[in-house]
Amino acid sequence: MKLLNLSMRKLYTILALASFGISAEYIAIIDFEGIGVTSQEARSLTQRLTSEMIRLEVYQVLERSKMKKLLDEQKFQYSGCVNTQCAVDIGKMLGAKYMIVGSINKIGSTYAIDARMIDVETSESYISAQYDYTGAIDLLLKEGIRKIAYQLCELNYENKANENQFLSPPVLKYPPNNKTNKILFNLPSKYPK
């Protein structure tokens, strides 16, 4: 009976996860506008945003190649599409619930990423995200775009780069406790006991 209950729980878990995956809403991401950066840099950062959004698994992201193919079939030119109406028109053609548009800006040595998710049905901005950084553009690819993705998915972001202080693993105590025949662990104070 215990085995049957365990199997039923696994089945319910699988069904719940499957239904979550099916119900995810489709989004499409338009190449960000580059202001003070090259169009190649803007496209590279847009591609990284696409990868991050896929990795977070909150939305179903339309593949860029599929999006381009569908728009080419409709004879729709979307290069330079940065305004809301253009994004809504593309979203309707693609069957996307949300469109993500944005820009990568450079003023002096400061970079700024501004992005917004537009609800295709209402033409309203659903959520916006921003990231500012002074320094080399490299950090935008490594961290800035990830922060933008987390903001657009309404998730908390923890900077993994600053978490280099790893918890030490439990220290195994030998010999095992003879009374219970179990191995005891000496847990560092950071681990709950």
pLDDT at 9: 47
Model pLDDT, residue 59: 95
Identify residue 138 by its one-letter amino acid code. D
What is the C-alpha to C-alpha distance for residues 77 and 62, in angstroms, rounded to an integer? 17
Angle, in degrees to the nearest 10, between helices 145-152 and 39-56 = 50
Q: List the alpha helices (DSSP H) in the chain.
A: 2-23, 39-56, 64-73, 84-94, 138-139, 145-152
Domains of the chain (ranges, CATH numbers) = 2-158 (3.40.50.10610)
As a whole number of angstroms, the distance between CA 191 and CA 38 comes to 48
For residue 192, what are its two tokens? 């709950």
Regions of the chain where pLDDT drops below 50:
1-22, 161-193
User: pLDDT at position 161, please?
Assistant: 47
Q: What per-residue confidence (pLDDT) applies to 160?
A: 54
pLDDT at 100: 95
